[in-house]
Structure 1
Amino acid sequence: MLPKLIKIIIISMISLSYIPVLMADTFEPNNSYETATLIYLHHYDSPYTQTIQQHDFTDKEDEDWVQFYVVKGNRYVIKAKPVESSKCDPAIEIYGPDGQQPIDNGFSDKESNGTVENIEWTASQDGLHFARFYQCIEDCSPEFGELNAYHIIFSKLGAGAAFGYISGQVFPCNEQLDFSDTNIISWAKEKIFGRSLILPGCFYFMTIESGSYELKAFSSGFFPFLESIQVEEFQTVTLNIHLDPKINDKKGDINKNDKLDIGDVIQSMKYLSR
């Protein structure tokens, strides 16, 4: 079962995906690669649509950036699809892992209001990549604001691409956990296949191709988390992540493993019984 917050996100995004909704861009601020929103792989046969994001341009200075994980050799497509009656005219640029170097042939601008823009490409390296979306302002007459929204869709091309989902909650869910410094990845055959940021409420979610993986989570001040998982097509693996904090005061760490645990209790009892 998906956590309640994830269900709410799914229901909300289903509404956003098929009905033009008069609401502000909820992904702001995302005007640079440093503040890019993480977007997940979308599969067109999927029962979930939270992988589709709705954005808009407030004015000619507004941009939307997203980030996503790609695997070398796989072919992908990213689209900007104006919602019904929208008169926005987005252009797309794709950048490599540094967020500053454009990839080869990573540009699309058909210069026509309401037209779907898309870029198809084969990943030349593993890692995070970025896409920049901005309103055409030369030789075109786009309109701005909430009434002129568009959807961003990121997909993998190729036959046999079946997807499943991984979700759960990260603990401890308190001020000890630095969201910006916490990484959750799916790992197999020496490659990363999926990545998630932490959502409000310490939830995480990722879309990933069906298969066997190691789910890893690591954050400064905590021991790494590692768990083997099997992801089936259109099924959700629910796995909560419990990160054990490293200790700063090591006076009680008798067995020298950087944490206070039952082993320290056993060792102390042995000393006391001598």
Structure 2
Amino acid sequence: MNKLVICAYTLMTCILLNIYCFSIFAETYTEDQYENDNNYTKASFFIVNSKQQMPQIHNFHNKGDVDWVLFYGFANKIYEISAIDLANRCDVVLELYDTDGKTMMLEKPVDTQATEQPEVLPYYFDKQGLYHIKIYHYDMNIFGDNTDYKIDIQIKDGDMPTDITGVITDAISGKRMPNVFVSTDKGREDYSSAGMSNGVFHEAFVGRYYIMDHEPGSTVLSASHQNYSVFSSVIDIREVETIRFDIQMIPDLLLDFSKNSRIDLEDALYALTKVTAESFKKKDTIFFNNSISLKDIILILQLVCDKQPKYRL
């Protein structure tokens, strides 16, 4: 009798364990490409009025998932923020926040429709700046399959100015680059952002430049930064449209002694080896063949450690 009880207990335990494991795996879903956008500092950036900007596809991939979207709003304009193409288990709620990411600009969240129905949030902005949209499911316990939706933002009254915006990255590392000087041959200029706006850090804005109210037509866009080759390209600026143009900066590789197309510790080790070897011959630890110096080695180590170089290449 005891054996039967033990067997029954063991069987029940196995069944419950299998059910639990199945539920764990069943509730593991693929996150959308904009994760981790669960707070306003990590919001994805939406370029309004650009033909290159398609509606962003999001989902609620886990319990309590929240998505944030960041966009630049101009003064004296009505914008229409829409959640569209909702899947059959999706019921979104929209909230609009001011440039600080904390002050809600609506009396209450927008949730006028049922599951699978679009939500629309029109709003008139009396000042320009970076604004935030918070999106979450009406029932925070619902997530996973068929919770997809799209976010779109459109200007609804009058024409938008003609702007140029994009993200500047290091062509080798792919890292976003702040403080890059960007200009056009029409006298317009900007510096790529370090991510701060009105005292708020936005991860999606790091490395982004924004040249506003540019005249239409062909223009030469240039970018320059210390220790990088100057970037230059001719682009066509269309009237009343925001042009997205990302820039990759190619670093000057004068210190690439190991010839591996990047500056890293191999170059420092190579240079140290050469300088040390030459010092035994010439009793001189400063220069090697008038091309490698201790200053070069220090600069390499600073670059590898992501510190501000003290010397210009």
Which entry has the higher C-alpha Rg, 1 or 2?
Answer: 2
> SS where residue 41 of structure 2 aligns?
helix
Tell me if 1:52 matches 2:51.
no
1:139-169 Cα distance to aligned partner (Å, 9 max, x none): xxx85323221100011112444878766x8
| Stretch deviating more after TM superposition (100-109 or 212-221) | 212-221
* Alignment partner, residue 101 of structure 2: 99
Q: Which has the bigger relative contact order, CA under 8 A and spacing at least 6?
A: 1
Of the candidates 115, 118, 123, which is equivalent to residue 117 of structure 2? 115
Q: Distance in 1 between matches of 2:83 and 2:181?
A: 27
What amino acid sits opposite 1:28 in the alignment? Answer: E
Relative distance call for 1:210 and 1:118 in structure 2 (3 A) is farther
Relative distance call for 1:259 and 1:42 in structure 2 (3 A) is same
Relative distance call for 1:116 and 1:191 in structure 2 (3 A) is farther
Q: Distance in 2 between matches of 1:40 and 1:164?
A: 10
Relative distance call for 1:235 and 1:27 in structure 2 (3 A) is closer
What amino acid sits opposite 2:171 in the alignment? Answer: C
* Alignment partner, residue 144 of structure 2: 145
* Alignment partner, residue 66 of structure 1: 69
* Alignment partner, residue 78 of structure 1: 81
User: CA RMSD of the aligned region, Å?
Assistant: 5.1
* Alignment partner, residue 231 of structure 1: 237
Structure number having the greater helix percentage:
2
* Alignment partner, residue 36 of structure 1: 43
Q: Distance in 2 between matches of 1:87 and 1:121?
A: 27
Structure number having the greater strand percentage:
1
What amino acid sits opposite 2:35 in the alignment? Answer: E
Identity rate, percent:
19
Matched-pair contact (CA < 8 Å) for 2:57–2:150: yes
Q: Distance in 2 between matches of 1:108 and 1:221?
A: 49
User: TM-score under structure 2 normalisation?
Assistant: 0.51
User: TM-score under structure 1 normalisation?
Assistant: 0.57
* Alignment partner, residue 153 of structure 2: 154
TM superposition shift of 1:40: 1.7
TM superposition shift of 1:42: 4.5
Query: Mind listing any 5+ residue stretches in structure 1 that lack a counterpart?
Result: 1-21, 198-202, 251-257, 261-274
TM superposition shift of 1:87: 2.5
TM superposition shift of 1:98: 1.4
What amino acid sits opposite 1:145 in the alignment? Answer: G
Mapping 1:1-274, distance limit 5 Å? 24-42=31-49, 46=51, 48=52, 50-83=53-86, 85-105=87-107, 107-137=109-139, 143-161=142-160, 170=168, 172-175=170-173, 178-179=175-176, 181=178, 211-212=215-216, 231-233=237-239, 240=247, 242=249, 259-260=312-313
1:206-251 Cα distance to aligned partner (Å, 9 max, x none): 9988745997868899899899976115796867464888xxx69x
> SS where residue 121 of structure 2 aligns?
strand
1:172-224 Cα distance to aligned partner (Å, 9 max, x none): 4234x7527467989999999x99x9xxxxx9899988745997868899899
1:106-145 Cα distance to aligned partner (Å, 9 max, x none): 731115111211111122322211100001129xxx8532
Q: Distance in 2 between matches of 1:148 and 1:172?
A: 36
Query: Mind listing any 5+ residue stretches in structure 2 that lack a counterpart?
Result: 1-28, 196-206, 253-294, 297-310
What amino acid sits opposite 2:39 in the alignment? Answer: S
